[in-house]
Structure 1
Amino acid sequence: MGDTDRKLFVLDTNILLHEPFAIFSFQEHDVVIPMTVLEELDRIKDSKRDVARDARVAIRALEALFKDATPDEISEGIPISRDKGSTGHIAILADFELQETIKAFADKAGDNRILNATLYLQNKRAPREVILVTKDINMRLRAKGAGVRFVEDYRSDQLIDDVQYLTKGFQQIEGDFWSNVDQVESKNLAGRTYHTLAREPFEPTYLNQYVIDDDSDFVGRVAQVDADSITLQDLSRERLMHRRAWDITPKNIYQAMALDALLDPDIDLVILTGAAGSGKTLLALAAALEQNIEKNMFDKIIVTRNTPDIGESIGFLPGSEEEKMLPWLAAVTDTLEALHKNDHCTEGSLKYICDKANIQFKSINFIRGRSIQNAFVLLDECQNLTASQIKTIITRCGEGTKIVCSGNLAQIDSHYLTPVTSGLTYMVERFKNFEGSANIHLNGVVRSRLAEYAEENL
């Protein structure tokens, strides 16, 4: 590991918890894993935390790399990959031996030992670039304060640089839509109207992206994308605004577009983003009840969400799995009550609807390994999930299943995620060209004037 052209990356524990195979992202550079990181992974792998599985995956990946290496090779470094293009090496540093050589921090807490190891390597390997990679913002600040010259976040999982560039699922054209169109070819197929136009004015454009304008009633959805042209399905704004699902009608055009996607049988995945109170859960649940009870399109409705401290807390709650999940799914039960608030007996209505629609409240931990057929799946609070967790859930969906993923990127509770590395952001970017998915960002807060004011001014 002596080539001065290659960078030397020191990985913090949270990198391997966030992405267990992160070591393979540094194929052309060298990686050092401090012994402290292995000790922390060892403590976490046996815990009841939701990252325990990721810790075990990371440990297995490291074991597969080092299983035939001698102690000297482990400390000196072995090739990360056997690929011809890979020149990087990976080593384990016995950082507990460094207390005598470098004393930036006197105590032996995990973070401090990792910082000591980075400073030791920085001095020993000069003039090579030694870079500490961590997702902990405070760790990055402490490292810079201690004299670590290069500190970075882990960015290989980042598909966009800033969340403001995340596609919203619709384009808003200034003025009147038709005044900007020079040439159009229109046709009717099975009672639907399609317009084929030049692609360039709509770039960037994606399948199932909506197109709206400021002045007229035009609403379209991208049905086909070719090299030089796009085909829009013409959707009447008036018809969309008067569409009903479980006696709910849209309050704005953004909700109307979301409801259109939720009720479309050709769309298997709907991603709803937006501020608190924009109607994400309400619309999803109304569409689920409408299609399950009125149209018999699904056998059941499965409602789930990420529960950050599920390992420690769920066992202490009384009752069955569903009863344990109810505190976390209060947002959904509140929405159910809101949909039936005018019924003669709300409580009786809720019990009848839950039985009739076969609504099941499930923990995300028990989704793994299942195959979900003919179900409407509502995955709430997606912003707290990693990309690998999102993949685990979506790959469970079998024939006849529709999944709705909703979340608010301004309300991330996870220690390891930011708006640009959230699984919700990852999913929006990865599925934008998939013909069976639609993504809508709901603008505006419709919960109450109080909620709207709070969203804008606090």
Structure 2
Amino acid sequence: MSSGAEVSKVASLPSQKTFVLDTNVLLHDPTAITAFAEHRVVIPMTVLEELDHIKDRRDKAVSREARIAINMIDKVVGKASPQEIKDGVQIPGTAVDGSDLGVLAIYPDQVLSDEDTSKLLSETLDHQNDNRIINVALRLQSDNRNVCLVTKDINMRLKAKGCGLNNVEDYNHDKVLDDIDLLASGYEELQGDFWEGVSDVDTVREHDVTLHRVPLEAVPDAYPKQFVYDENEFMAFVERVDQEHVYLRCDSRDNLMNRNFWGLKPRNHEQAMAMHLLADDNVDMTVLTGPAGSGKTLLALAYGLHAILEEKKYSKLIVARSTPPIAEDIGFLPGTEEEKMAPWLAAFDDNLEILHGTDESAQGSMDYVKERANIQFKSLNFMRGRSLNNSYIIIDEAQGLTQFQLKSVISRVGADSKIVVLGNLAQIDNKYITPLTSGLTYLVERCKGYEHAGIMHVNGIVRSRLARFAEENL
């Protein structure tokens, strides 16, 4: 019997499944080894080699994920003997239901050979690593195991199925929705007259604000910081929700439409509701989603200037985004960090021009505002480890970030700061991220019940009639 067969003889429970992880899964979520409940997780040696190569890349984001994944694996198997690593080492911690996590094993795929009884893929030069990882799953499957290859590479999933692997899946641990159309929008339109369907309502006074307390059954899907309105004149803001009641602060649509930030007025109700969330001192994070041209960036920037220069709430405005992986490392571009980021943050200059384009000296006004508002352009790749205090922070193009990347940035927000996260789920340029697995989608669903976060899907293309046509028809 070959050495590969000997390696595959490991202890497992009868109901235990075996999940073979591809490298891109660990880069997408470095903690993925803990995401498979009581089952068995296998890391092929090829995956460790790829992580070792990636951890030294100049791309700070992906190299950091690789290092975290390596450290996670080391914490589990670092003190185990070689035989224990082959058999599987218990992963510390517990699952959501309180049960123990499964085991982690490392499979030395270099021992696989054509002499094995299972049919293996040949190791072509262009696809050598992919084929070696698929071969691990095929070899384990040949031992009558319930094996599943987990990869975010669509073509690799097709190849694995085509060569006889029974179970191949995308990594869906961070998938919070089954249909992107179910994503929370921040508002709900109710049919008919709202008050006709409410039999029991109380009026309560909290912090100089009058609230209407209605039964939860009247708005069963309500969550904090959501807008609800009907087909008539009813418009209300959900201040909070408990087990039995929803607390509504009624408002008028005209009042919402009369807001003004730095000379900017809302052009539709979604923009008006977004402006309300931005100005709410009880909201520490606002997430604005919506199509290109809906005004997300303009709204966020206008309120930032208003809050810093007129209300003196913050000491600086930080604009950040992740540099695209297809682009060159910004370290090779000339100038300061702000100058290096200029190609990817030109949209903010465009929006500053909209706000000051009618000034007598538009460029002079823009330079003056940048200096007075202390506007700083940053790359997310270089924000790790910072604590952002007394700051107004805008994260742009968040649809291309993973949940892990977004968490690492949001956890940087310090005292007396507000963060605004912007994104368009129709414009994802990361080949391993879909609208359902985007960190932005995860953030919207996870924060919609948090009382200090607000979300709003800004609909309606206000950039131009041509932009509206392109978004809807092209």
In structure 2, relative to structure 1, the CA distance for the partners of 1:315 and 1:190 (3 Å cut) is: closer
Q: Which is worse superposed, 200-209 or 63-72?
A: 63-72
- The one-letter code of the counterpart of 1:412 is I
C-alpha distance in 2 between matches for 1:67 and 1:436: 40
Taking only the aligned residue pairs, the percentage that are identical comes to: 49
C-alpha distance in 2 between matches for 1:310 and 1:397: 28
2:147 matches 1:137: no
2:227 matches 1:210: yes
Match of 1:88? 102
Match of 1:200? 217
Deviation at 1:249, TM superposition (A): 0.8
- The one-letter code of the counterpart of 1:70 is S
| 353, 358, 361: which one aligns with 2:369 | 353
Deviation at 1:350, TM superposition (A): 0.5
| 313, 324, 329: which one aligns with 1:297 | 313
| 107, 112, 117: which one aligns with 2:136 | 117
What secondary structure is seen at the aligned counterpart in 1 of 2:343?
coil
C-alpha distance in 1 between matches for 2:442 and 2:291: 18
Runs of 5+ in structure 2 lacking a partner? 1-10
Q: Which is worse superposed, 56-65 or 323-332?
A: 56-65
TM-score (normalised: structure 2) = 0.92
C-alpha distance in 2 between matches for 1:293 and 1:256: 21
In structure 2, relative to structure 1, the CA distance for the partners of 1:87 and 1:394 (3 Å cut) is: closer
Q: What is the aligned length?
A: 455
Match of 1:69? 80
| 415, 428, 437: which one aligns with 2:444 | 428
Deviation at 1:179, TM superposition (A): 3.6
Q: Deviations over 1:384-419 (max 9, x none)?
A: 111122122212112210111110111112232221
- The one-letter code of the counterpart of 1:324 is K
Runs of 5+ in structure 1 lacking a partner? none
Q: Which is worse superposed, 245-254 or 417-426?
A: 417-426
In structure 2, relative to structure 1, the CA distance for the partners of 1:150 and 1:310 (3 Å cut) is: closer
2:52 matches 1:42: yes
C-alpha distance in 1 between matches for 2:313 and 2:130: 53
Match of 2:266? 250
C-alpha distance in 2 between matches for 1:187 and 1:79: 53
2:8 matches 1:20: no
- The one-letter code of the counterpart of 1:23 is I
2:295 matches 1:284: no
Alignment check: 8 A CA contact 1:48 1:311 kept? no
- The residue correspondences of 1:218-297 to structure 2 (distance < 5 A) are 218-297=234-313
C-alpha distance in 2 between matches for 1:53 and 1:230: 43
What secondary structure is seen at the aligned counterpart in 2 of 1:415?
coil
2:173 matches 1:163: no
What secondary structure is seen at the aligned counterpart in 1 of 2:262?
coil
What secondary structure is seen at the aligned counterpart in 2 of 1:339?
helix
Aligned-residue RMSD, C-alpha? 1.9
2:114 matches 1:103: no
C-alpha distance in 1 between matches for 2:101 and 2:246: 44
C-alpha distance in 1 between matches for 2:429 and 2:276: 30
- The one-letter code of the counterpart of 2:136 is A
Deviation at 1:226, TM superposition (A): 2.5
C-alpha distance in 2 between matches for 1:87 and 1:238: 54
TM-score (normalised: structure 1) = 0.95
2:421 matches 1:405: yes
Deviation at 1:189, TM superposition (A): 5.9
Q: Deviations over 1:164-198 (max 9, x none)?
A: 22211111112333343333333566664422212
Deviation at 1:225, TM superposition (A): 1.4
C-alpha distance in 2 between matches for 1:364 and 1:370: 11
In structure 2, relative to structure 1, the CA distance for the partners of 1:160 and 1:82 (3 Å cut) is: closer
Q: Deviations over 1:289-337 (max 9, x none)?
A: 1111111111111111111238842022111000001111111111111
C-alpha distance in 1 between matches for 2:411 and 2:106: 35
- The residue correspondences of 1:267-416 to structure 2 (distance < 5 A) are 267-309=283-325, 312-416=328-432
Deviation at 1:87, TM superposition (A): 6.6
| 5, 14, 29: which one aligns with 2:15 | 5
